Amino acid sequence: MVVLSQPLVEKFSHIKTCKHKNTTSDHVYTGIIPVIDLLDPEANNLIIKACQEFGFFKVVNHGVPIETITKLENESINFFNLSQIEKEKVGPANPFGYGNKRIGSKGDVGWVEYLLFTTNPELNHNKSITIPGNSLLFWGLVKEYISAIRNMGCMVLEMIAEGLNIEPKNILSRMLSDEKSDSCFRLNYYPPYPELLQALSGRNLIGFGEHTDPQVISVGRSNNTSGLQISLKDGTWISVPPDPYSFVINVGDSLQAMSNGRFMSVRHRVVADSLKARVSMIYFGGPPLSEKIAPLSCLMEEPNEQILYNEFTWSEYKISAYKTRLGDNRLSLFEKNAQS
């Protein structure tokens, strides 16, 4: 038995905890998560329904090669298994690079290590980041993975446009395919913490606190370790079963605004596993900085439908979002009835 000293307990006291994710007393349930086969003839309609009801869904038959997924995950694990001294040579994240527990600049923390990169080749942030080991191999795998995920994300957005009967077909996907798309890519590592089990008395460390994503959509996956949870409209938390070969799609704040609230940006969080490491890879599909975000006029079917959000550029929203805490309702500042 490992007996923890009080200083060790206090060392992690700033990390939030929740009751064990398998207990109903924490109001966390494993519900029916929408799983959509992208080859299904009804996929467009199923995606629309999932965006409306959950703001979240899984996709299978997505076309991303398993080999591409596996190689990058293995290289990511190799990095996170390096000594802390070696990893910190790639940081601190500002905002890109290696980060450890600190999330953003407003005091949010979690039981997580991460690598954050921009996907815009015109920016120079990534060029100054040298990954220990075979850096050329790592960056080649990242580039290959991002290309495949971006293509899949664009396909999903075009299916959404078709499902909503709006034209042109690329009205949403063009924001991700644009060469100036302000998207980013994040590798998260949630280490196990067996030495803290006794001190936590059955509670779990929060790896990444509850939040919504500000971009258009997010496309993520993880290894076979559970931890991802989404919040339903009534505040109930649902655990998402892990599946290393499917992808999860999150509706982001920008898509909620463009749909005039038809789709809801999903609140989600990650609960760290005490015994097994969790590795996740997320592509955050954002528009160009100058892109104007507003409810799409082609969606306003009813003549008296109220416009819920003021127009803003992605740059304005991004600046505003990063001034807030992780769990804040960022989009509320851009609602029509918000106080200026």
Phi-psi region of 78 (alpha: psi -120 to 50; beta: other; left: phi over 0): alpha
Taking alpha carbons only, the member of 288, 304, 317, 295 closest to residue 123 is: 288
CB 43 within 8 A of CB 36: yes
Task: Give the C-alpha separation, 41 to 173, whole Å.
Answer: 20
Element housing 35 (H / E): strand 35-37
Task: Give the C-alpha separation, 130 to 115, whole Å.
Answer: 12
Who contacts 60 (Cβ-Cβ below 8 Å, separation ≥6)? 35, 36, 37, 38, 245, 246
User: What's the token pair of residue 183?
Assistant: 């998207």
CB 265 within 8 A of CB 229: no
Reply yes or no on whether 278 is catalytic: yes
Task: Give the C-alpha separation, 340 to 336, whole Å.
Answer: 10
Catalytic choice (203, 267, 269, 278)? 278
Q: Which residues are catalytic?
A: 278
